[in-house]
Amino acid sequence: MTDTSTIIQGRIWKLGDQVNTDILHPPSFFSLERERIKKGLLEGMKRLGSGVNSASLDEDLVIVAGYNFGCGSSRETSVRALLACGIKAVVAKSFARIFFRSLVNMGIPPLVCGNIHDRACDGEKCLIDPENGFIKLSSKNKYRFSPIDSHIKKVLSSGGLIPYLVENSDEL
């Protein structure tokens, strides 16, 4: 469950612009087996030039990316892979619309922050304060991210769309 008032800490996996979902998690790794899904994301990260390896999955991780993160197919398999690998949040200059919504639906906070990408380093530690709207890098520099929509906050606080709908079924 991602409570939008809880501090998120993790190590940064830095990616660039226009990251396509089929490269992020190659279709040849589509599976219902968690370990195969994780191998797919590691392969995708390798193809994207990230310094990620299987040992990285033992840490809490935050992706920092450039423009139009998650473009490509509308399948949510790449978001399922991020969830399986324990990604705590994704920070990007901008997101592909369907990918943004898939992150929310799976309970992973998508945060829009235009100026952190050029200052963050792959492997650097960061702290995200969703309540106060900032990300702090290990350099102690703080960067504000765009406010999170109130409805999206509710979905994230429930842990994703399905838990949100279950919790609120009496109101629907």
Residue 1 has what pLDDT?
Answer: 43
What pTM did the predictor assign? 0.90
Residue 113 has what pLDDT?
Answer: 96
Residue 171 has what pLDDT?
Answer: 75
Residue 12 has what pLDDT?
Answer: 92
Residue 56 has what pLDDT?
Answer: 60
Residue 73 has what pLDDT?
Answer: 79
Fold of the domain built from segment(s) 8-147:
Aconitase; domain 4 (3.20.19)
Secondary structure letter of residue 69 according to DSSP: B
Strand-pairing partners, residue 110, are 90
* Strands, sheet with 142-144, edge to edge from the N-terminal-most edge strand: 110-112, 87-92, 61-65, 8-14, 125-129, 134-137, 142-144
* Regions in the chain scoring below 50 on pLDDT: 1
Distance CA 22, CA 73 (A): 7
Question: Is 142 strand, coil or helix?
Answer: strand
Where is 154: in which H helix or E strand? helix 150-158
Q: Which of 35, 64, 86, 69 is nearest to 143 (CA)?
A: 64
What are the boundaries of each domain within the chain? Answer: 8-147
